[in-house]
Amino acid sequence: MSSVERALAEDLGPGDATTNSIVPAGAEVQATIIARQPGVIAGLEVARVAFQLVDPQVTFCTHVGDGDAVSAGETISTVKGPGRAILTGERTALNFLGRMSGIATQTRRFCDAVIGTNAKILDTRKTAPNLRATDKLAVRLGGGQNHRFGLYDMVLIKDNHIDFAGSITEAVRRARQHSSLIIEVEARSLADVQEAIEARVEWIMLDNMSLADMKQAVEVNQGRAKLEASGNVTLETVRGIAETGVDYISVGGLTHSVQALDLSLLIM
């Protein structure tokens, strides 16, 4: 079952008591989805699926594209078809569309803030349970890039793993015995960076380092591993971080602290 199907089942239960008691079974309606504030739209196809899972007769006509910036008051889409289906699917469709557009909007802000540098904005695994696919899609539509999707597609050796193994070198050795995946190591100090370089890992995360230490890490690394800055990155600090020369900046706030874009569906 997809995340959209689960969301509909959660909302609908045995039936829409309000709509089914008020809206005649044969009623046809036309509605528009309007942006109440400026932002970047993401999730149009997910919203379409939400409506059409309720009733495939619903048509969903878009007036903008995923990744497009919109103004307050702009019409995003027109929805036509059975009135019951449209009102029943409304909240689920808007929940996905609003959340994804909020993520895309915030991602675009971070991407715009680092224009002119080599740094790319990454997401993290700090996504809503069962919504990782749509959360990460929204990041891409906002101009960012996805880090690993889950625990299975990259080795990321963090502080607890290092402490358990006793050292970065030993943790990397153990990882290579069991996996051929790309290995990233979390570095808490410049000494950790040097040890990770000597272990020939492909990717190093600079965890909560100062700008001065990040610059030194870039110099020491000499392009051997990809460098990712991480830890409490904000719109106020991201430009300075990018200017240190790191390759990537991961921002958990893209998905873990989402402010949904305000959207409304209005019957015409």
Query: Catalytic residue positions?
Result: 91, 126, 158, 186, 207
Integer-rounded Cα radius of gyration of the chain: 22
The Cβ-side half-sphere exposure at 117, using a 13 Å CA radius, reads 20
DSSP tag of 178:
H
Coil, helix or strand for 225? Answer: coil
- The stretches of the chain forming alpha helices (DSSP H) are 3-12, 17-22, 44-54, 83-113, 132-141, 159-165, 168-178, 190-198, 211-221, 238-242, 253-256
Residues 6+ apart with CB under 8 A from 15: none
DSSP tag of 181:
S
Would you say 187 and 206 are in contact if contact means Cβ atoms under 8 Å apart? yes
